[in-house]
Amino acid sequence: MKGRIKFFPIVNFITGSPGILRNGGIWRWIKVEIIKKRIPNIMMQALHFVDFNVTSNIFNKWFEGRTLKDWIREVDKNYTPKFFVDSGGFKHLHNKEYDLSDYNIKPTQEDIFMLQLRYGADFVASLDYPIPPNLNYKEARKRMELSIKNCLKLMELVYDKYSNCNVFPYLVVHGRNGYEAKYYTQNLFKNLEEYGYLDKPFGIAIGSLVPIKNHYELLFEIICSIKNVIEQYKKVNVHVFGISGYIIPFLIYLGIDSFDSNTYVQAAQNLRYIMEENYQKNFYAIDEKDLERCGCEYCLYLLNGGIENAKKILKSRGYLRHEFNGERINKSKIYSCIAMHNLEVQIRLINKLNGMKSKEEFLNWLINYSKGRYSGLKLISKLSDN
């Protein structure tokens, strides 16, 4: 087997006024547990603060002489996670430019890079312009050119202008099909070679996949096309943005090195409880046997407080507080328990895959994993072609 797969759960830290654990609803409780468990790798969306009630004044207070990591160390001085900060490019999916003027941030590669450094990033993604499925060819080509230009700019920032910044750049590539992905990646590598950056360390991050996340064969086609181009030039780590769930073991077998996801939270917000091997079950259909079968600390918390009591709390108004498991809580605590259980299931799967000693063992596991799912069997046949 190749090196260990890294999973970066997406976490929203800036959810209001400064103080990591002060606010955020479900995110407040998730942040408590993420820090308590010392999750080693975290993905942050650079512009996540715009989705919360964060004014420019509040935003600036977060960064008065400190990074986001410094705020985390105030909670646990021994917790030093690796931060992968994206560029916020996904917000450009349906908007050419996101209005950040209130925060004195321009939608340029350099301004986004400086924001990533303020977070305390270890890994940074280039500012990209994702390509929606129905975008016309002319506009798609324009977005590719802009994204490649930003890739080159990021390499310049990391290795020339701010050479002491100590961050690792990931250059984002896109494609709505194998041909488009190949064209984009080839152009990127030719430009890197031309501008003298090909020998510098960097990774490749694949974007624009979320809109097609349920089209497994198309995902395969795009990822294989990109990897085939990369292998013609050099060995680099490959990250996949925003894809998780059933297909992840197949992508890992293909050679993906890392991925990120907020599925654990999204599923919880929709009252979806993730079972082993990525099946999801409506939380109202969960019973004590399901909680006992999992046995994670969050399921045991719900079990001790009473699963039926937890379901009643979920139907209450958000501001009401209830007695549960010896403490007074509101329903966001129950939501966070579902989310952290979901995350626990994802981490268990990655640990299992990382524990496999050979590709043959992995393939045999994948075959069993695919049984009973037509889509899985089709993916197994695709793997044999690669």
Cβ pair 274, 262 in contact under 8 A: no
Tens-place pLDDT, residues 171-224: 999 999 999 999 999 999 999 999 999 999 999 999 988 888 888 899 999 999
| Percent of the chain at pLDDT exceeding 90 | 76
Same domain for 111 and 201, yes or no, is yes
pLDDT at 34 over 70: yes
Please compute the mean of the pLDDT values over residues 154-167 and round it to a whole number: 95
Same domain for 253 and 375, yes or no, is no
Residue 1, in any domain of the structure: no
Tens-place pLDDT, residues 224-278: 999 999 999 999 999 999 988 889 999 999 899 999 999 999 999 999 999 987 7
Residue 132, in any domain of the structure: yes
Residue 231, in any domain of the structure: yes
Please tell me the predicted confidence (pLDDT) of residue 318: 83
Please tell me the predicted confidence (pLDDT) of residue 91: 64
How long a stretch of residues is the chain?
Answer: 386
Cβ pair 170, 124 in contact under 8 A: yes
Same domain for 221 and 308, yes or no, is no
Query: 178 is in which domain, residue-wise?
Result: 6-261
Same domain for 207 and 294, yes or no, is no
Burial bucket for residue 315 (CB in 10 Å: 0-12, 13-18, 19+): exposed
Same domain for 212 and 76, yes or no, is yes
Same domain for 76 and 162, yes or no, is yes
Please compute the mean of the pLDDT values over residues 133-156 and round it to a whole number: 93
pTM of the full predicted structure?
0.94
Residue 91, in any domain of the structure: yes
Same domain for 311 and 211, yes or no, is no
Same domain for 34 and 105, yes or no, is yes
Cβ pair 241, 88 in contact under 8 A: no
Same domain for 81 and 189, yes or no, is yes
Residue 87, in any domain of the structure: yes
Q: Domain count for the chain, please give it.
A: 3
- CATH number where 145 lies: 3.20.20.105
Residue 266, in any domain of the structure: no
Residue 295, in any domain of the structure: yes
Residue 267, in any domain of the structure: no
Same domain for 310 and 195, yes or no, is no
Please compute the mean of the pLDDT values over residues 362-374 and round it to a whole number: 86
- pLDDT-derived band at 307 (thresholds 50, 70, 90) equals very high
* Burial profile 317-344: b = 16 or more Cβ within 10 angstroms, e = fewer: eeeeebebbeeebbbbbbbbbbbbbbbb
Helix (H, G, I), strand (E, B) or coil at 83: strand
Same domain for 219 and 243, yes or no, is yes
Same domain for 70 and 19, yes or no, is yes
